[in-house]
Amino acid sequence: MAGILEGVKVLEMGHVVVVPAAAATMGDWGADVLKLEPLTGDMARGFKTIEKIPPILRRNGTEIHWYFSYLNRNKRSIALNLKSPAGRAVFDKLIRNYDIFMSNYQASSLERLNINYETLRKINPRLIYSIVTGYGSKGPDKDERGFDHTAAWARSGIQQGIAEPGMPPPMERGGMMDRVTAAHELSGIMAALYHREKTGKGQALEVSLYHAAVWTVSEDVQAALMGTPLPQKDRTIAENPLFNYYRTKEGRYFQLAMLQSDVQWPGFCRAINRLDLQNNPRFKDMDARAANCREFIKILDDIFITKTRPEWEQLFKAHDCIYGRIETAAEVAGDPQATANDFFGEVPHPAMGPIKMVNTPVRFRQNPPSLRTPAPEIGQHTEEVLLELGYDWEDIGKLKEQGVIL
C-alpha cells in the first residue's frame, strides 16, 4: 500500500538527530528521501559509544551501527563534495527535482556554500526550504552552535525546572529534545506542502531547538511572563499528594495523576484500605490535603512501601485510580501495550535479517507507515541518483576522478 507522502521528494542535508529524525518520519510515510552527505559521511556514523555502550549490532557476520540506522531508515544516500564546482552543479540539478530541502547544518556553513533560500528558490520556486538552528537566526547567539543538551535542555529552563530543590539538575537522555524539535519541523513542512498545494508557491521555514524547548516547557515560561514563576517541584510537599510519585516494596516507583483528586478520593481511600482517612478533617478534600501535604505524603510513603507495584496496580485498577508505572527502557521494549499498538516494527536487512526499530508515533489507518529499507551506506545510491539526473557512466567516472563523489 502506498504511503501517504508517496511522490514527495525530500533532499535531507542533515546530521546526527534532529533533521534525520524528521526526514526518517517522512520516509516512513512514503516520501522519497535522499540523504546528502559529505564524502566523510554524517558525523553520527562515527559515534563510538552511546551512553558508554558501543552502538554496533553484530549478527550473521555483519555489523550495523544501530544508532545511525534507526534515524536513517527508508532513505537513499548520495555523498557529494559541495565545495567543488562539479559537486555544486550536481546539487543544483537535485534542487530542481526535489520538493523539500532540509538541513541542520550551521546557517553560516550553508551561507558559505551559497545554500540559502534566496539562491535555491531561483532554481526551484516551488521548493520548501526548512532549516533547524540552535538558537534562531537573529540575536546575539544566532551563530552559536547548538545541541539539544545545550540550546534546548539547558537554555530553555527545562533542566533547572525539573530538578528538585537542593539537587543538581539532571542530564537529558540522548537526542530527546532533538526528536521533539523534529516533530515541530515536520508539522511546519506539512503546512508548507499544503500551502503550496493551494498556491503553487514555495516556502522557507525555520525551527530552533531553543524555541521548540521553550514551547515544550511553556507552562513555566508563560507563568514567568505573567510575573508569577512556578517553583521547582518537591515531592515531599506536593500540594496535591494524589498527583505525585511513590516507592513500592520492591524499590520500584509509580506515578499518581489524579488532578481532580476529590472525585477519586473515596476510591483512592478504598484502594489503600484507609477508609479512616476519607472524612478526616485534615485530609478530606483538596484544600485540606494541600494544607497538610507533608504529613499526608509521609503517611502515603509508609503505606505504599508495604506492597509491590503489581499489587498496587491491581488495587488502583479496581478502584479507578489514575496511575502510571515508572518503567525502564528495557521494560518499554517488552511492554505488551506498546507492542499491541505498533510502537515497534522490523526493517529487513539483506545480511542481518529483520531488525527491530521504534516506529514513529503517527499511525495512518488507510495509508499506514512502513519500514522498508535499512539505513544506507555512505553514498550507496550516488550512481543511481546521478543516472536519474541524466549523467552517464562516463560523467560518473570523471566525477570520481575529480574527487566529487566516492
Tell me, letter by letter, the H, E, C secondary structure of 345-373: EEEEECCCEEEEEECCCCCCCCCCCCCCC
Return the closest-CA partner of residue 16 out of 212, 209, 214. 209
For residues 254 and 312, is the Cβ–Cβ distance under 8 A? yes
Q: CB-side exposure of 173: number of CA atoms within 13 Å?
A: 5
Report the alpha-carbon distance of residue 302 to residue 105 in Å, rounded: 53
Q: Which residues are catalytic?
A: 178
Cell triple for residue 117? 533560500
Q: With the C-alpha atoms ordered 298, 303, 305, 309, is the resulting torsion angle positive or negative?
A: negative
Return the closest-CA partner of residue 373 out of 384, 364, 388, 362. 384
Task: With H, G, I as helix, E, B as strand and everything else as coil, classify residue 192.
Answer: helix
Return the closest-CA partner of residue 354 out of 343, 346, 366. 346
Cell triple for residue 19? 533533521
Q: How far is CA 79 from CA 87, 117, 263, 375, in A?
A: 10, 22, 60, 14
